[in-house]
Structure formats: C-alpha cells, structure tokens
Structure 1
Amino acid sequence: MSKQRAEGTPVRVAESRPPKIEALTEEERHNGTDELDDAASSTASLRSSILEYRALNGRTFHSAAHAADYFMPNDGQQQESLDLAHHYLTLILDGLLYLAPIPSDSKGLAVLDIGTGTGIWAIDFADAHSNAEVTGTDLSPIQPSWVPRNVRFEIEDATMDWTFRANSFGFIHMRYLLGGINDWTALFKQAYRCCKPGGWVESVEVEPGFCSDDDTTDGNPFVEKFASLFLEAGRKTGKSFTVPTDDVQRLGMEAAGFSDLQVVDFKVPMGGWPRDPRLAEVGRISHIALETDIEGYTMMLWHHVLQWPLDGYHPFLDGVRKTLRDKRTHAYVKLRVVYGRKPEEI
C-alpha cells in the first residue's frame, strides 16, 4: 500500500498480516503432543554494583536518581524472562535477529541497540557480524562484562536527547520499549538524526493483552483484567502499552522522515496449543517467559501506578496462570515489527 506524507513526498508502506493459528484438537492434546516443558532455561543473574537500585516489594528497579520511571524490574528474575523472550522472538522470525535489509557485508557497520536489557540481542548480533561495531544502551548496567570485542554497553535514557553524533549508525534496533515512552515520534526523530543516510531503523513491540481466533479468551475475567491493567496504566502515565493497536511505530517513523516503511505483524501464542510445531515451540517458550516473571511485568503497575486493592493482586496472578495453562485456551499476543530507511542525501 502507499501513503502520502503531508509535504507531498510519497512514503511506501508495505504491511504483512499473520494468518489464523490452527490449534491442536482435543485428541491430539490428550496424546501429549502439546506438553509444556516446565523446566525453563536458567540464565546467570547479571548483576552490577555500578548503580544503587531501588528495592520495591522485594524486587530491584533502576536507580531512583535516574530521570526515567520505568515499570519493569532489573533483577535476575526479570533478566531470565527477557532472555527467554529473546529466544521466542528469534524463533518467530525464523532464526533471524532482524528483518530490515541491512547490507550482508557488515564491515564498518555501526549498530545501535536501544533498550538492550541483558544485552543478548546486541551480543548475538556482534557474534554473527564480527566486522560490525555494536553499541547497546539501557537504563541499568545489567549486561555481562564478558562480551565479544565488537560490542559495548552504555547507560542512556532513550526518552532524553541521545548523546550520539548525527549520522552515526547504519542500523538502529529497538525492542520492547512499551510502557517507557511518552513521545514515540520524538524517539524516532532521535533515531532519524543518529541514523546514517541510507541506514535502517527497526522497532519491535508487543501488546500485553491476550487475543484468540476462536473466542476462547472472550469473557474471561482474568484476561480482561490483564488487558485493563496495562490500558489504564498507560492512560495514567502517558506511556502507551497498546503500541501495535495505536500504530505508533509506523506513524512515528513516518513523521520522523523515514521512507520504505515495512509493517510485519505476528501472533505469538501463549502455550503449546498450536498444531504447527514451530509455533507450538514459540508458544511454550513465550508461556515460560511470562510465568518466569509475571509479577515483574505487573507489580509496579498494580501497586504503585494504579494502587489497586492489595488483596486482589495474587488471586489475579493465579487466575492468569490458570487461564494460560488451560490447553483449551488458545491465547496469543500481538507482535509488530516496523522498519524503515533514512533517505539518501541528495
């Protein structure tokens, strides 16, 4: 499809929509073809003593002195969940780390990973592209110290003015920034400034609300509560959690000046219910990733942002867990990848 920018310059936008996911039958479920592997991969706890972290409800968050106010913890439990999320994201992209058509020859390519988290994407990219130079930024220094020679990590708040020079990077990758961004257009304008002419920027975002193609999530009170938690928190903080639905990636990148925009949508199943083996594996890992730290994704919002009743929190978590463990519930979450190119200088 083609869209027109206000100033008259054509911006090509291509969209790819995911098909309906076919679920296993009841007979196939009873035959044990969708068993959830409860043994989640254990990852080393990546701690750092560089900053003083805040302790809330037994969890640690980024420094209270930092300008940003981010809802997710930065401790080992959250890190393990993030690394599992990286695994299912790589699987759903058919083993790829990105979709943007960056040059196959990465010699001299400068890459920036915004919101790097544990640094796992930056490390994997650096391993796969030994001639590239990769920089990962995040609020907390939770990345490992032993990394490939061509990767480094810096503390930076992506919502502030970026400290990098203009036209510095051939590829800028950002992932799972939901709940941390007030102004997505301003974010992409920073990316546009720092991206080299002809370079690419890619944004990957998920929506924390459960859907189903067969109505098996409809009317479920825990599914509805889970969605409303993030929706109301976004309204109160001004930091959107409904990024794919609001189309803020495409709109923000278009407003920033990127061209050749590509929008690719995915469905990430929660659990091993899909008949397709690859999607079933994605679903098993995404389910484990959520269960590994469902408290970390919801605690700050429930207790400190919305200040909902304390006695309702753990029954809510138990209800979500029970719902997603039920093989008759064919839940998935929406994932959207948007990438675009900074036009060559004329």
Structure 2
Amino acid sequence: MMYVAFNNKLHLAPLENPQKVLDLGTGTGIWAIDFADEHPSAEVIGTDLSPIQPVWVPPNCKFELDNCEDYPWTYVDDTFDYIHVRGLVGCVRDWERLYAECLRCLKPGGWLELQEFALPIAGNDAPLPADCVWHDWGAVFREAGRRMGRSFEVADHWEEWLRGAGFTGPLRTDSVRLPIGAWAADPKWKEVGMFNRLSLEQGLEGFAMYICTQVLCWQPEEIAVLLAKVRQAIRNPSYHAYYPL
C-alpha cells in the first residue's frame, strides 16, 4: 500500500481498471464525478456529512450521507480497489484509526491516496518577512487544531500514522508549491495562482470564522483585523507565497 500527495491529475496511484472506488469527504462531489467519467467501468461512491452534491451524475457514481469517523464503516473487508482522501485537515480526530479502517476496506493490492494542504505558508524565493501575517494565519490553524484535537498539520505525520494503522508496503510522496497569486513565471502555475487567490479571497470568512469564534473565542473585531491583513498579503506581489500541497 502507498500514499501519494498531490498532482494536477485526478490521481497519482497507478490504477489498473479499478472497479470499486471510495471518495471520503467528497464535498461537492466534483472529484468523484470526474473520476466516474474517466473510469466508466468503476463504481464510485462519494461520502460526506452534507448532502450538497448534484443530482445529475454519471450512472456509475453515487453519493452517501455518512460520517467517516463512525467506526466501523458499513463496508465489508476488502471492498475497494482505491480510496481517495482530500481536504480533510482539521476534520478528523484520530487519523490513525481512519487509516486503519481504510486498510480494512481496501482489497489486497489496493491503493490509498491522500491529498492535503500543509503548513506553514512559505516564500518561494526567500523567507517571508518576520512580521508577515501569513505566520499568524498558520499559527491560528495550528492552535485551533490543538484545541479541537483535529490537527491541521496532517502531512507532517502521514508516515507515522499510516505505519501505526498497519500499512507495511512502500510509501510514495509527491508535492507541489501551490502559488498564492500570479507571481509564478510559468503560465500554467500563474493561472493556478490566480485561481488560488480568488478561492482564498472568497473563502476567508468561511475558513476563519468558526475556528476563531467558537474555538479560539476571538471577538469579531479581532477577526476583521486578521482577515484585512490576510487580504493585503494575498495581493502583495512581493511575497511569492505558496501553500505546500
């Protein structure tokens, strides 16, 4: 069994005609839908706590309302050829337990693929200034994860937790620097950075409001100041900031 981190493809795992696929925390379901289109012979199941997925989907794709932390899962042993997990940082209390359940439900020779953001946000060409708000932004999520018992620093512990869950085979990793803004010279990554900037700017309140008010007990004025500084940092072309992904 192996894990892989990120690529601009739907998957990195060297899949050969997968027949049963699970997408944990599917969200809008876009990954599951695209994978089902790409692999029409596979049955693709996307699970999530929220029923926000579209009704019109490929015939080989379906969505189930389910909590991946409700153990044991209802799936029998050796069910899936491939399990995909992406974007669940800050959502899972016991990652090792989750990985153990993935291992139980994977067929022999099956693949588990993990894709997550990592901390801290860093500078591509030079370290970010000591007073840069990106350091504060990372500290907010680290502290919130510590208080909730749901870490935002999952990538730092992948190997430890996977081995603890019982994975014994080789582990494969891949990572990229996801630009924040259009500073990259390469046209492809410049475009990616522009979309990432747009995503961050539109999602800042959603990222921060719950953890700052309910977990860290901040006042609204404190949050407004932080988000104003983050918006300035997003638009600062000198930072060349990126998320490790």
In the aligned structure 2, how far is the partner of 1:14 from the partner of 1:144? 29
What is the distance in 1 between the residues matched to 2:67 and 2:3? 31
TM-aligned CA deviation for residue 220 of structure 1: 3.0
Larger Rg: 1
2:101 to 190, 195, 212: 190
Q: Which consecutive unaligned segments of at least 5 residues does structure 1 have?
A: 1-10, 17-88, 336-346
Letter in 2 for 1:255: G
| Aligned twin of 1:316 | 226
Aligned to 2:160: 251
Deviation at 1:265, TM superposition (A): 2.0
Q: Which amino acid aligns with 2:61?
A: V
| Per-residue deviation, 1:156 | 1.2
Task: Kindly state the Cα deviation for residue 296 of structure 1 after the two structures are TM-superposed.
Answer: 0.5
Give the C-alpha shift of residue 256 in structure 1: 2.2
Greater CA deviation, 188-197 or 160-169? 160-169
Residues 255, 281 of structure 1: alpha-carbon distance in 2 compared, 3 angstrom cutoff: same
Can you list the C-alpha shifts for 1:4-36, whole angstroms capped at 9, x where unaligned? Answer: xxxxxxx9x8999xxxxxxxxxxxxxxxxxxxx
CA RMSD of aligned residues (A): 1.9
Task: Return 277-286 or 324-333, whichever deviates more.
Answer: 277-286
Aligned counterpart, 2:13: 100
Query: Cα deviations across residues 203-239 of structure 1 (Å, max 9, x unaligned)?
Result: 1110253201333522134212211110110110111
In the other structure, the counterpart of 1:73 is: none
Q: Contact 1:250–1:263 (CA<8 Å) still a contact in 2?
A: no
Secondary structure at the aligned position of 2:120 is classed as: strand
SS of structure 1 residue aligned to 2:115: strand
Q: Which residue of 1 aligns with 2:31?
A: 121
Specify which of 161, 165, 175 is matched with residue 265 of structure 1.
175
Question: Which residue of structure 2 lines up, in the alignment, with residue 205 of structure 1?
Answer: 116
Distance 1:208 1:200 in 2: 25
Q: Return the alpha-carbon distance in structure 2 between the equivalents of residues 14 and 98 of structure 1.
A: 11
Partner of 1:52: none
In structure 2, the gaps of 5 or more residues are: none
Partner amino acid for 1:278? K
* Whole-angstrom distance in 2 between the partners of 1:256 and 1:198: 16
- 1:194-343 equivalences in 2 (<5 Å): 194-215=105-126, 217-244=128-155, 246=156, 248-258=157-167, 259-335=169-245
Moved more, 235-244 or 135-144: 235-244
Q: TM-score, normalised to structure 2's length?
A: 0.93
Query: How has the CA–CA distance of structure 1 residues 15 and 206 changed in structure 2, closer, same or farther, with 3 Å as cutoff?
Result: closer
Cα displacement string for residues 145-165 of structure 1 (whole angstroms, at most 9, x for unaligned residues): 111100000111112211111
Aligned AA for 1:252?
Answer: W
Mark the CA change 1:291 to 1:135 in structure 2 (over 3 Å): closer, same or farther. Answer: same
Distance 1:176 1:15, change over 3 A: closer
Overall identity of the aligned pairs, in %: 40
Deviations 1:82-120 (A, max 9, x none): xxxxxxx7xxx24x10101110x34xx100000100000
Which of the pair is proportionally richer in strand? Answer: 1
What secondary structure sits across from 1:286 in the alignment?
Answer: helix
Structure 1 residue 181 corresponds to structure 2 residue 83: no
Partner AA of 1:119 in structure 2? G
Map 1:68-107 → 2, pairs under 5 A: 93-94=7-8, 96-103=9-16, 105-106=17-18
Counterpart CA distance in 1 for 2:199 and 2:192 is 10
Deviations 1:229-274 (A, max 9, x none): 1011011011110122x2x222222222321210112211111101
* TM-score, structure 1 normalization: 0.67
1:163 aligns with 2:74: yes
Contact 1:216–1:328 (Cα < 8 Å) also in 2: no
Matches of 2:132 and 2:186 in 1, distance apart? 28
Contact 2:23 2:45 in 1 (8 A): yes
- Between the aligned partners of 1:220 and 1:332, the Cα distance in structure 2 is 17
Write out per-residue CA displacement over residues 33-72 of structure 1, whole angstroms, 9 at most, x where no aligned residue.
xxxxxxxxxxxxxxxxxxxxxxxxxxxxxxxxxxxxxxxx
Separation of aligned partners in 1, 2:108 and 2:177: 32
Q: Do the aligned residues in 2 keep the contact of 1:97 with 1:125 (CA within 8 Å)? A: yes
Structure 1 or 2: larger helix share?
A: 2
CA distance in 2, matches of 1:100, 1:117: 21
